[in-house]
Structure 1
């Protein structure tokens, strides 16, 4: 089973030293990929609860989330083989051409190891900070995907959309090879409406899916597998080869002192329960699981985080 590790970006991290140590330690331990995440700001009085979950406050660790592309560039220099992904970039927070250029640059620096995870986002506070609205988010994601295809293709580039006009220009650097574009979302939509725009976008345009498991055990695994099968069936309807798509499950780990039991959320519990969840994801068809330890407020140091990450890798 392949494992990825989210790099430390949270409050309290020594960015000058901890990022390099984490990247090198994870690669040496056998992690196959390193990931960053995006959080633009921390509102004192948020418009929405965290990640659109009812009554969930924004966690204190999100008071700082270092820039995901800068962190990924540092990891590219510090490592040799691991893939480098963002899970995920919020398309509406970026100018599409500049985002495409930044990803291509990191791909060149790393020798072709970048994975671009992109999504619509959810925070109105973040959208307001860059002058867009929640209503724009789906449209801007589609536009960003269109710009990626154009800018990463051959020069001269000619592209026109409501926000972006490129009139027969060279846009360099290009990626080393085709950058896989992964999309998140779709989980709730798959349970309610298999023809939703989010699900269609994954099936029609993505190189893979970045889901969060709804629950642990056989029930959570069965739901994940059923959703993945529906996405791949829909990809076939669009004339695509679903065998070329990947499912990389995001495991937002929260440790508990005692077993959390069958009613827990996925990736919440003891180390044994976390390992069980990795197994459940693998049985459901996941190609890889991202282990995110940034949620642990009781990690007093990045070294403690890395010791746990190495133990998880060895157990898996």
Structure 2
């Protein structure tokens, strides 16, 4: 199992200097990929909690720098690591513009982009983008359709309720097909979408230890079984687990969530992801107040690959 690292986008990050330092440091430390996430705004009185039943939005997300701009900076600063989004919310973007942005970054990076996509959940963000929560699945499907059309050969002809492309060239094209990974998987429709359309899955662990590994493995086996029924080559699909890390000074109790606890407990969770069959694990060390600076975060990030000893 390979390791990926989320780049710093949070409140308090020096965007002029920290992004390049983090990207270069992670590549030198042996990380296989760098990732960004999307947060459009920070509502003072959000329509939904950050997580059920009433988890507040993390204060560090008051700022979340634009994921594609951050990825572009990383593309210029690195040479080998893959560059992914986990995830972009389809309903917050115009599909053809998003396709062109991803293709442009893919060209800049020499073909290293991974497009992690999701439906999203924040009504405040949908409202700000002129969308509605009820449209989120339909907008994701439409965006995937546009990707297929405009990343294919010119001239492009495409028609949907929101997008009309009439006999046009849409350039640049990606270096090669950009892998599209999908988050979610909590509903039958989401599982079907992953199996039928995605190049991979971006799940979270919900339980630590062997039980959590088995749970994810069963769901991944089901997705690939369904994909095979659609006639797809499942050997080309990948599972990339997302680990949002929260460090604690003392060991967290037996009812802890995955990736919450001491560094030793986080190491256990890394091995749980490997046991689940993950091809890669994204470590996000930015969504908490535990780190006082990007440099402190990077010191821990550099330590983890050597301790994890996963391959």
Aligned-pair distance for 1:296? 2.5
Name the counterpart of 1:120.
Answer: 119
- Return the alpha-carbon distance in structure 1 between the equivalents of residues 151 and 306 of structure 2: 38
Corresponding position: 1:201 with 2:193: yes
- Return the alpha-carbon distance in structure 2 between the equivalents of residues 75 and 133 of structure 1: 32
Give the length in aligned residue pairs. Answer: 308
What secondary structure sits across from 1:138 in the alignment?
helix
What secondary structure sits across from 2:298 in the alignment?
helix
Give deviations 1:43-63, integer Å, cap 9, x for gaps.
010000014x21111110110
Gaps of 5+ in 2: none
| Residues 56-205 of structure 1 aligned to structure 2 (within 5 Å) | 56-186=55-185, 188-189=186-187, 196-205=188-197
Give deviations 1:11-47, integer Å, cap 9, x for gaps.
0000000000000000000000000000000001000
Name the counterpart of 2:46.
Answer: 46
The 8 Å contact of residues 217 and 262 in structure 1, kept in 2 or not, is answered as no
Name the counterpart of 2:29.
Answer: 29
**Among residues 200, 212, 217, which one is paired with 2:209 in the alignment?**
217
Normalised TM-score (structure 1): 0.96
- Aligned alpha-carbon RMSD (Å): 0.7
- Return the alpha-carbon distance in structure 2 between the equivalents of residues 105 and 262 of structure 1: 46
- Return the alpha-carbon distance in structure 2 between the equivalents of residues 92 and 140 of structure 1: 5
- Return the alpha-carbon distance in structure 1 between the equivalents of residues 112 and 254 of structure 2: 37
Aligned-pair distance for 1:244? 1.0
The 8 Å contact of residues 247 and 290 in structure 2, kept in 1 or not, is answered as no
Normalised TM-score (structure 2): 0.98
What secondary structure sits across from 2:3 in the alignment?
strand
Name the counterpart of 1:277.
Answer: 269
The 8 Å contact of residues 208 and 247 in structure 1, kept in 2 or not, is answered as yes
Name the counterpart of 2:240.
Answer: 248
- Deviating above 6 A after TM superposition, structure 1's stretches of 4 or more consecutive aligned residues are none
- Return the alpha-carbon distance in structure 1 between the equivalents of residues 140 and 288 of structure 2: 31
Aligned-pair distance for 1:263? 1.4
What secondary structure sits across from 1:132 in the alignment?
coil
- Return the alpha-carbon distance in structure 1 between the equivalents of residues 254 and 108 of structure 2: 44
Gaps of 5+ in 1: 190-195
Corresponding position: 1:307 with 2:306: no
